[in-house]
Structures are given as C-alpha cells and as structure tokens.
Amino acid sequence: MSVDEVAPHRRGRPPTLKDVASMAGVSIATASKALNNRQHVGAATRQRVQSAADALNFSPNALAQGMVAQRSGTVGLLTSDLVGRFSMPVLRGAEDAFGSEKMSVLLADARDDHIRQQHHLRALLSRRVDGLIVVGAQPDPRPSLGQDLGVPVVYAYAPSDDPQDMSVVADDVAGGRLAVDHLIRCGRRTIAHVTGDPTYGASHDRARGAVERLAEEGLTLAGGEVMYDSWSEAWGRGATRLLLDREPALDAVFAGSDQIARGVLDALLEAGKRVPEEVAVIGFDNWEVLATGSRPPLTTIDPALENLGRVAALRLASAIEGRAGHGVESYPCRLVTRSSTAPLH
Amino acid sequence: MSVDEVAPHRRGRPPTLKDVASMAGVSIATASKALNNRQHVGAATRQRVQSAADALNFSPNALAQGMVAQRSGTVGLLTSDLVGRFSMPVLRGAEDAFGSEKMSVLLADARDDHIRQQHHLRALLSRRVDGLIVVGAQPDPRPSLGQDLGVPVVYAYAPSDDPQDMSVVADDVAGGRLAVDHLIRCGRRTIAHVTGDPTYGASHDRARGAVERLAEEGLTLAGGEVMYDSWSEAWGRGATRLLLDREPALDAVFAGSDQIARGVLDALLEAGKRVPEEVAVIGFDNWEVLATGSRPPLTTIDPALENLGRVAALRLASAIEGRAGHGVESYPCRLVTRSSTAPLH
DNA sequence: CTACTTTCCGAAAACGTTTTAGCGACGTGG
DNA sequence: CCACGTCGCTAAAACGTTTTCGGAAAGTAG
C-alpha cells in the first residue's frame, strides 16, 4: 500500500474534495464523479476514492454545492410565534417531510412584528433559501408576502389573504361538524357551544359547522346562541354557569378550544354534574397537556397540524420543482376520543 | 442621466454583484468595497454603487460570502423534542441573542432517536454551521457529541455528561430553595413537596433545595418525605389526597411541576380547602397555559429558559471567536407570583 | 497498419463573493 | 524634469464543488 503522503490537508479545516482526490491519487473531477455515482469512472478507482473519503471522514461542502447547483437545499420557516402551540407541530411535520437529507430548515421567528419580519425575510433570501413556509399564530388570514420574492411560498395554518398564494389550513367548518356529529351519535340532543374570541374567523367557522350538523337533526343550539368571549378556562367556567341556569336539561357542550373545555369541565363538576354520564364535553385542538390531564380526560378535535406541515412541505417541494399551486386547501380534522364523552347510558 | 443599458441580468435569478457593478459602471471589486464600506473608494463612486444596488434590490449571496469567509453565518440547533415545552423558549432566546442579521438558525429535530441525530448532525456539519446548540427534552445529563466535530458546541437545558463540554442549565437546587423560601415568607410551616419521576436528577435537585431551606428554619417536610411519582395532574391529585389524610395541618404544597400543581389545586378544592387562605400552592416551570388558567392562578418558579437560550448563544458566539469555555453553568430561576400563594392573614 | 469505438480520466470553467496586488494618474517637493 | 507618495480603481486569485469537453489508452474491425 504505497501512499504518496501528499500534504494531508490544512489544519483545523474540514477535508475537501481535493484532499480526497490527492489521497486517492486522482483528479478532483474524478473524485467528484466517483462519490456521486456518476459514470465514466472505473470500478477500482471508484473504490479507492470511496475509501479515501471514508478515511478522511469527508463530507461535501453544501455551500459550494449550492453555488454551482444554484439551490441551497434550504427552506425558510417564517413563524409568528415560536412558543405558540400551533407553529410547532406544523414545523415538525414540515421538517420530516423534507427528509433532512436533501433539505434543511432555516428558522426565523418574527414575533408578529412587521419590521422584524422584513428583517428575517431579507436574511432568509440572502441565504438563498429555495422556498418559504409561513406559519401564523392564529388561524385567520394574514397579509401576503407578495409574489415577487423570487422563491415559492406556502402559507400554513394561517392562510394568505391573496388567493394567488398557496395556503394549507385546517378545515374548521368540518371540525365543528365533526364535534357535534360525535355528540349526536352519543345520543345527546341539548348541545351548547362555548367558544372564544369572536374576532377570529375560525370561531365562526367551527360554530357554523356545528350549527349545520345540528340543523340536519332538526336541532338548534342549547342556550339559543353561540357563546363567544375569550380562549380561556375562566370563560369556560363562566359560560357553563350561565348555561346551567338557562338550560337545566343540558346534556353536552362543544368547547371551541381545549382551554375552554377545561373550564367547562371544572364548572360542571363543581355544579355536581357527572361527566360524561350527565353532560358530555368535547374540546378542540388536542393540546395534550390539557386534554390528558383533565378529569376526565378530554375528548377533542385534533386539527392535525403535523399533517398540515407535511402537506405544506410537499406543496413547497412541488413549487420548487416548478409545479406551483395556488388557492387555499383545507384538510380534515380528526376526532380523538377520551373519556369526557360517552353514549347516553 | 446616461445609462449604458448593459444586459440587466439573467432572468429569474437574483441580481449579483456583477449586475450592480456594471450598472454603476465600475468593476466588481469596487462595487464590493463600496457596499462593505471599505476604503479606497471615491465618495461619488460609492454613492453610484449604492444607488445601483438599491435599484436592483441587491442582496449579497450569503453562500458565496460563506465560501470566501470560511464561515457560514449559521448555527445548528439540535433538539430532542420539538413539540416539547422546554426547547422552544431556549430556541427563542438563542435566536434573538444572535441578532438574526449576522447569524441564522438551522433547525434539526432528532426526536430522541440516535440514528436520526447522527443524520441531522451530518447534515448540519455539511452545511458548515459555525457552531451547534444542543437542547435536550429533559433536564438530565445527556451523552456528549464529542470534541472532534470541528465546531464548538454548547449544551442547553440538558447538560453534556462530559465536563469538557460547555453546558448552561437552570439551577434546580436554587429553584427548589426559592419555592420553599417564598412559602416560608408567607408564614407557612407545614410544607409538603409533591414531585415527579424519581429517575430525573432534576426532581432530586429541586427537592434538595427545598429540604435545605426548610432545615434552615428547623423544619422538615410535611408528610415526612418527598413524594415522587410522575409529572402528571393525576399524581398531583392522588398525592394531595394522601397528604390531607396524613397531615391535617398542611398549609402549603410545593409541586415539582405546574402539571402536578394543577392536580394539587383540584384535590384541595375538592376537599373543601381554600387556596391560598388555608393552603398555599406553588408550582414549577411557569407553563403559562397551565399556570394562568387554574383557579386560582398559580404562583410558580420560572426556570428562565429564554435567558438560558440567550446565554447559550452568547457562549457559543464566544467559542466561535476562539474563546471556548467548558463546564456546567447554572442560572437562577425566577419567582412568579400569582394568586395561589399569599401571606397567612 | 489504419480508422474507429469505447473506456477512463483530467483540465478548466462556472457559481458569487472578498481580498490582494498592482497600475495609472495626479500632485508635491526637490 | 525627476523621484516619490497617495488616491481611485481594476485584474485576478481564492473558497469547494459540479459539469463539460477533450484527450489518452486500449480494444476492435477493416
């Protein structure tokens, strides 16, 4: 095994293709072809290059590859709330749809601050991301970033207000319908809906789905109307007390969020109602820490955010390949059954 | 205003320095110096280049800059749980300590899967990150990534098991001490500690801090011992029922997490105890959705994770500049006072 | 022996930037 | 008029890849 002992490589820096090539006694071009399984390389040579690369623990410089390929193998993830419950699952779904091998995720948290967003946007574009996923903190439409960014953009969870853009969101109407459908299947007939901030479009969508499904049974909302206020446990408690006054026959509550549902449960228990025997409760979001810790554990609607992230990544990948889409795509929610609902004896 | 109308630039691609230069009628080198505020450029020329760059909306290709500077301006964030409550604040703190202008964050979620971690590690190194922040899902020590990665590494929240590495963590002992100190200042003397999984080092650290502070007052734990089990609301409820049997005089509970604290509150209320008048409750984590929604809102110990992220970023920046550190640095927790504790009338 | 493939390999250009070295022009002091 | 700086600018190298093109060597057919 005679080796020429060419200068191994500069101290402190990772080995380059040149190092591999000279160790294997071939040109850089040949080394490149060998490692990328291109043809026009002899089997023996290929093997020698491989060994050299392994010995040096060579890993190609993605920046250099990006230069010549004119794509960085990177997507930007622009989010409005990093601590929020909603961006994380999306992010996670996106991250593994891309498979980590070909694509990495560059994260930027804009915190709902417009100028910070512009800042981050410039930084991401400067890094020549191949595409952008924008995930909002609220399910409501948000201003478009515009079409002239030079890279494709997909909006997740919060759609863009420009129909020209591509957005993927959870189907809130179907989610509301699904919740009430489940309660009806449990034999409930006196169903109230306690939900959050009336300025959220999602509140109304969920309520609409709920009311539609009720109507199909010839029913209307217990309490007479949707109870809007805020996304808090406190409101869940307060609304429930009101309801118990107005509707002594109440046998189910659809809560617009798991937080509200927790409040509803609390107030029901306090009033001596048994859940789910007397009153069934269903939440929305499937926020694990809330839904599994409650007494009893909470049946809830899961907006399948991770799936949303996956789809967003897929759509973005397509757009990067040139097959751009547009419009808002809605994806179904999923019923997660725990113990706060059950058939009426 | 005579312009030469040189070929504007290749369609579809972002403008390059060459485009700016030819628009301003200077060489690439001059354009570079002008935009980077280097000397050896005339004032008028500099102005012309600036205008051209603005007109073209030029932003320098960070990949190319990275090639020549031998640093990518990117750090890798390797986390074990992306949905988890703990990595997010750290991430956020890190993200803004870096100022987004000079440094971007490349995200990788390993999900506690060793081979996935190796995968992501290779991807990050291939992208030539300038450094790595590793944030764990649990506060306990984790295996070191090793010293020979070629880039500096800082471990946050979960320290490395190799003292040669640099780790920044929350001071759990001081946190436990702080919790009990607050209860004592509220005049409580019969204080129990309900906490989670006994296999977590953090459980024991918090308990140790608590017991130490009690000892300074000549007190011991109500119930006789630390009550370990799991990080769940259900355990909080169960433990509280046990406690009320054993210690009718109980006037305070230090819960090892906010989830447990929620369970404690529930059980106390159910037993007819008034909080905080009869029994004070303090949690740990300051997990907003749990702590603010409870009845009453929960006083708790905030491990200041965002600060941890900031410090981690700072330490990493130092290490990148060549001033590497090592060892485990602990940072204090913060008391967040809400309504579940109050002075004994 | 010539002409022609086929097979394997290397030289060189290209990607977009920063930096080094050098080159004219111009002014200044002798 | 000459030596010498200084100033403003440009040419070219370098960073680490991939790819194109051409060339050498060897084999095959005439």
A92 to chain B: nearest residue by CA? B82
CA separation for the pair A268, A180 (Å, rounded): 19
- The answer to whether the Cβ–Cβ distance between A126 and B289 falls below 8 Å is no
A73 CB contact with strand D at below 7 Å: no
3-state SS, residue B318: helix
Give B91's pLDDT tier (boundaries 50, 70, 90).
confident
A65 CB contact with strand D at below 7 Å: yes
CA separation for the pair B194, A87 (Å, rounded): 32
- Report yes or no: B79 and A92 within 8 Å, Cβ to Cβ: no
Q: How many Å apart are A51 CA and C9 C1'?
A: 19
B40 CB contact with strand D at below 7 Å: yes
- pLDDT of B235 reads 98
Instruction: For residue A241, give every residue at least 6 positions away whose Cβ sits within 8 Å of its Cβ, in sequence order, or none.
Output: A267, A271
Instruction: For residue A253, give every residue at least 6 positions away whose Cβ sits within 8 Å of its Cβ, in sequence order, or none.
Output: A191, A192, A193, A194, A240, A243, A261, A264, A268, A279, A280, A281, A282
Query: Residue B19: which nucleotide is closest by CA–C1'?
Result: C16
CA separation for the pair A295, A250 (Å, rounded): 19
- The answer to whether the Cβ–Cβ distance between A107 and B119 falls below 8 Å is no
A36 CB contact with strand D at below 7 Å: yes
**Amino acid, single-letter form, for residue A54:** D
Query: Residue B43: which nucleotide is closest by CA–C1'?
Result: D8
- pLDDT of A262 reads 98
- pLDDT of A173 reads 98
Q: Is the Cβ of B259 closer than 8 Å to some Cβ of chain A?
A: yes
Assess whether pLDDT exceeds 60 at residue B7: no
**B172-302 has CATH 1.10.3720.10 classification:** no
Domains B71-170+305-332 and B172-302 are alike in CATH topology:
yes
CA separation for the pair A289, B259 (Å, rounded): 8
Reported CATH class of domain B71-170+305-332: alpha beta
Chain B residues 155-214 within an 8 A CB cutoff of chain A: none
Domain ranges of chain A: 17-60, 72-170+305-331, 172-303
- Report yes or no: B289 and A290 within 8 Å, Cβ to Cβ: yes
Report pLDDT digits (tens) over B230-264.
999 999 999 999 999 999 999 999 999 999 999 99
Beta partners for B156?
B135, B168
Query: Residue A31: which nucleotide is closest by CA–C1'?
Result: C9
CATH numeric code, A72-170+305-331: 3.40.50.2300
Residue A62 with chain B: CB contacts under 8 Å: 126-128
Q: A172-303: which CATH number, 3.40.720.10, 3.40.50.2300, 3.40.50.1370, 3.40.190.10? A: 3.40.50.2300
Over residues A210-224, the mean pLDDT reads 97
* Measured CA angle at A253 (ends A252, A256), to 5 deg: 155
- The answer to whether the Cβ–Cβ distance between A128 and B232 falls below 8 Å is no
- pLDDT of B48 reads 96
- The answer to whether the Cβ–Cβ distance between B60 and A100 falls below 8 Å is no
Tell me, what DSSP letter sits at residue B160? B
Considering only residues B280 and A100, tell me which one the structure prediction assigns the higher pLDDT. Answer: B280
Residue B64 with chain A: CB contacts under 8 Å: 67
Beta partners for B192?
B253
Q: What are phi and psi of B167, to 5 degrees?
A: -130, 145
Residue A116 with chain B: CB contacts under 8 Å: 100
In percent, the amount of chain B with pLDDT more than 70 equals: 96
Report pLDDT digits (tens) over A301-343.
999 999 999 999 999 999 999 998 999 999 999 999 999 999 9
Comparing CA positions, the residue from B270, B286, B293 lying closest to residue B337 is B286
Nearest CB to B60; choose among A85, A100, A126 = A126
Query: What is the end-to-end Cα distance of chain A in Å, rounded?
Result: 82
Query: Distance of CA A243 to CAs A25, A268, A278, Å?
Result: 82, 10, 14
A60 CB contact with strand D at below 7 Å: yes
- pLDDT of B8 reads 54
Report pLDDT digits (tens) over B50-87.
999 999 999 999 999 999 999 999 999 999 876 778 88
- pLDDT of A50 reads 96
CA separation for the pair B167, B81 (Å, rounded): 18
Q: Is the Cβ of A266 closer than 8 Å to some Cβ of chain B?
A: yes
* Helix (H), strand (E), coil (C) string for B283-317: EECCCHHHHHHCCCCCEEEECCHHHHHHHHHHHHH
Q: Which helix (H) or strand (E) holds B135?
A: strand B131-135
**What is the maximum alpha-carbon separation in chain A?**
93
Q: What are phi and psi of A231, to 5 degrees?
A: -85, 60
In percent, the amount of chain A with pLDDT more than 70 equals: 96
Residue B294 with chain A: CB contacts under 8 Å: 233
Give the position of tokens 């012309």: B48
CA separation for the pair B73, B99 (Å, rounded): 11
Chain A residues 84-123 within an 8 A CB cutoff of chain B: 85, 88-89, 91-92, 95-96, 100-101, 104-109, 116, 119-120, 122-123
A29 CB contact with strand D at below 7 Å: yes
**Amino acid, single-letter form, for residue B206:** R
- pLDDT of B87 reads 84
- The answer to whether the Cβ–Cβ distance between B126 and A59 falls below 8 Å is yes
CA separation for the pair B60, B40 (Å, rounded): 20
Comparing CA positions, the residue from B246, B226, B301, B236 lying closest to residue B268 is B236
- Report yes or no: A108 and A77 within 8 Å, Cβ to Cβ: yes
Instruction: For residue A166, give every residue at least 6 positions away whose Cβ sits within 8 Å of its Cβ, in sequence order, or none.
Output: A152, A153, A154, A155, A160, A315, A319, A324, A325, A326, A327, A329
Q: How many Å apart are B169 CA and D14 C1'?
A: 42
Q: How many Å apart are A30 CA and D21 C1'?
A: 14
Assess whether pLDDT exceeds 60 at residue B108: yes
Q: Is the Cβ of A67 closer than 8 Å to some Cβ of chain B?
A: yes
CA separation for the pair B136, B78 (Å, rounded): 8
Report pLDDT digits (tens) over B154-187.
999 999 999 999 999 999 999 999 999 999 999 9
Q: Is the Cβ of A339 closer than 8 Å to some Cβ of chain B?
A: no
Over residues A229-257, the mean pLDDT reads 97
Assess whether pLDDT exceeds 60 at residue B3: no
- The answer to whether the Cβ–Cβ distance between A106 and B109 falls below 8 Å is no
Q: How many Å apart are B40 CA and D4 C1'?
A: 20
Instruction: Please state the separation of Cα A177 from the chain's center in Å.
Output: 22
- pLDDT of B5 reads 42
Counting beta carbons within 10 angstroms of the beta carbon of residue B343, is it exposed (0 to 12), middle (13 to 18) or buried (19 or more)?
exposed
Q: Which CATH superfamily is domain B17-60 in?
A: lambda repressor-like DNA-binding domains (1.10.260.40)
Tell me whether strands B104-109 and B131-135 are parallel, antiparallel or unpaired: unpaired
- The answer to whether the Cβ–Cβ distance between B104 and A106 falls below 8 Å is yes
Q: Is the Cβ of A66 closer than 8 Å to some Cβ of chain B?
A: yes
Q: Is the Cβ of B77 closer than 8 Å to some Cβ of chain A?
A: yes
Q: How confident is the prediction for chain B on average, in pLDDT?
A: 93
CA separation for the pair A53, A24 (Å, rounded): 9
- The answer to whether the Cβ–Cβ distance between B128 and A14 falls below 8 Å is yes
Over residues A254-279, the mean pLDDT reads 97
Residues of chain A (7-66) having a beta carbon less than 7 angstroms from strand C: 25-30, 40-46, 64
Chain B residues 295-324 within an 8 A CB cutoff of chain A: 295
Report pLDDT digits (tens) over B11-53.
678 999 999 999 999 999 999 999 999 988 999 999 999 999 9
Give the total residue count for chain A.
345
Residues of chain B (16-45) having a beta carbon less than 7 angstroms from strand C: 16-18, 28-29, 32-33, 35-36, 38, 40
- pLDDT of B308 reads 95
Q: What are phi and psi of A121, to 5 degrees?
A: -60, -45
- The answer to whether the Cβ–Cβ distance between A101 and B109 falls below 8 Å is no
Interface test with B, best of A289, A292, A308 (most B CBs within 10 A): A289
Q: Is the Cβ of B57 closer than 8 Å to some Cβ of chain A?
A: no
Report pLDDT digits (tens) over B194-205.
999 999 999 999
Report pLDDT digits (tens) over A34-77.
999 998 899 999 999 999 999 999 999 999 999 999 999 999 99
Task: Encode A84-123: b = buried (16+ Cβ within 10 Å), e = exposed.
Answer: bbbbbbbbbbbbbbbebeebbbbbbbbbeeeeebebbbeb
Q: How many Å apart are B29 CA and D11 C1'?
A: 9
* Helix (H), strand (E), coil (C) string for chain A: CCCCCCCCCCCCCCCCHHHHHHHHCCCHHHHHHHHCCCCCCCHHHHHHHHHHHHHHCCCCCHHHHHHHHCCCCEEEEEECCCCCCCHHHHHHHHHHHCCCCCCEEEEEECCCCHHHHHHHHHHHHHCCCCEEEEECCCCCCECCCCCCCCCCEEEECCCECCCCCEEEEECHHHHHHHHHHHHHHCCCCCEEEECCCCCCHHHHHHHHHHHHHHHHCCCCCCCCCCECCCCCHHHHHHHHHHHHHHCCCCCEEEECCHHHHHHHHHHHHHCCCCCCCCCEEEEECCCHHHHHHCCCCCEEEECCHHHHHHHHHHHHHHHHCCCCCCEEEEECCEEECCCCCCCCC
Interface test with B, best of A13, A54, A63 (most B CBs within 10 A): A63
CA separation for the pair A341, A279 (Å, rounded): 8
Query: What is the end-to-end Cα distance of chain B in Å, rounded?
Result: 82
